[in-house]
Structure 1
């Protein structure tokens, strides 16, 4: 009975989310009311708020599903694998699988969703909140094998690198390139970025250089 109830809740959750994102992408986040989303999903407004506490959550639960992912990767890595190696492997796997979190997914709805999130102030602000929580969780995971300052700095650097790489990929797709075209360079950029994390930015320049190596 519990299993059936869970399945029913998941179906309602998905129906509400699908209805919301469809309407938001068609008309804009600010132009659609929660009441309209409830009507499209064929649920009452109170029922909708049982599943999604805020209007922003109707959109961002897809991002929230990745909450704490970097920390999990670090904690679940193999005994011979370092934290940065595990995080790099995970990011490269995401590129290969066209995970939207890496910015390398050229499905029209994914591109439109990405644009909506980062062009809507309330959604972008909530994403920043999620990122801060992810940074804290990753720092806690890294602190299990390093001092607190090192763990905190490395967590901030890793998530900044992933954010920059993802936005770089997304911009190229938004300009018209395909994920297949961007993928080889995205892999090279990710490998270079993680190498810089390991070696420090000073390693990218030799004395007298004006450009990175």
Structure 2
């Protein structure tokens, strides 16, 4: 057999992607997202400009490189919920776990990164798209898991409610980060907010999309 083994190719691609992301983040934090070009990122990472755009088609995704985990996470949680567990319970459990781990996907990014994101209209707009994409992905998962008809509005309504809570919790984490709060304090406060927010949805959604017992 000829050619490079598949595992080695995948490893090289991952290393290249991480190298580009690392240098991009460093430049963005030093100079501000809007003041750095893709060409400058390519030069810092010692790769061709086309290589950067192959891995990151949009400049915003160089800074927000956890997009797939952010967008797909809630839908994956719903699909993998335990027998007897509702979509609401699964998402609450998953979010509380992420808060305890200070997961950057839900906003534990540090004050410098938070300032960089909120200081760039382009990144704020891209992040808004992520929230919208996440809500659509969640609605699709809910429809799939409940066997809803294509014209059934319920999965979209539920995704809108759950997505709204996730968006508010993310924004609160970002706000507390910008206020200079330590991660441990942010986690305590967001944990309380998570319990409060999901409890408000419990009467309406507590028995929605419950996975049948095995």
Normalised to the residue count of structure 2, the TM-score between the two structures is 0.85
Normalised to the residue count of structure 1, the TM-score between the two structures is 0.85
Gaps (5+ residues) in structure 2? 205-214
Is contact 1:101-1:166 (8 Å) kept?
A: no
1:118 paired with 2:118, answer: yes
Which residue pairs with 1:210 in the alignment? none
Q: Alignment partner of 1:61: what SS?
A: coil
Which residue pairs with 2:132 in the alignment? 132
Which residue pairs with 1:199 in the alignment? 203
Alpha-carbon spacing, 1:79–1:185, altered in 2? closer, same or farther (3 Å)? same
Which residue pairs with 2:90 in the alignment? 86
Q: Alignment partner of 1:183: what SS?
A: helix
Q: How far apart are 1:149 and its partner, in Å?
A: 1.7
Listed one character per residue, the Cα deviations across residues 128-161 of structure 1 (whole Å, up to 9, x for unaligned) are: 2222221111111112327532211110111111
Listed one character per residue, the Cα deviations across residues 143-200 of structure 1 (whole Å, up to 9, x for unaligned) are: 2327532211110111111111121122223212212123223212101100101226
Question: Relative contact order (alpha carbons < 8 A, sep ≥ 6): 1 or 2 greater?
Answer: 2
Listed one character per residue, the Cα deviations across residues 4-47 of structure 1 (whole Å, up to 9, x for unaligned) are: 11111111111111101100110011111111111100111122
Corresponding residue pairs, total: 196
Is contact 2:111-2:180 (8 Å) kept?
A: no
Which residue pairs with 1:205 in the alignment? none
Which residue pairs with 2:186 in the alignment? 182
Gaps (5+ residues) in structure 1? 201-213
Is contact 2:74-2:91 (8 Å) kept?
A: yes
Comparing 55-64 and 88-97, the one that deviates more: 55-64
Once residues 186 and 62 of structure 2 are traced to their aligned partners in structure 1, the CA distance between those partners, rounded to angstroms, is 30
Comparing 164-173 and 143-152, the one that deviates more: 143-152
Is contact 2:56-2:62 (8 Å) kept?
A: yes
Once residues 164 and 91 of structure 1 are traced to their aligned partners in structure 2, the CA distance between those partners, rounded to angstroms, is 13
Return the match for 2:104 from 100, 105, 113. 100
Return the match for 1:16 from 17, 20, 30. 20
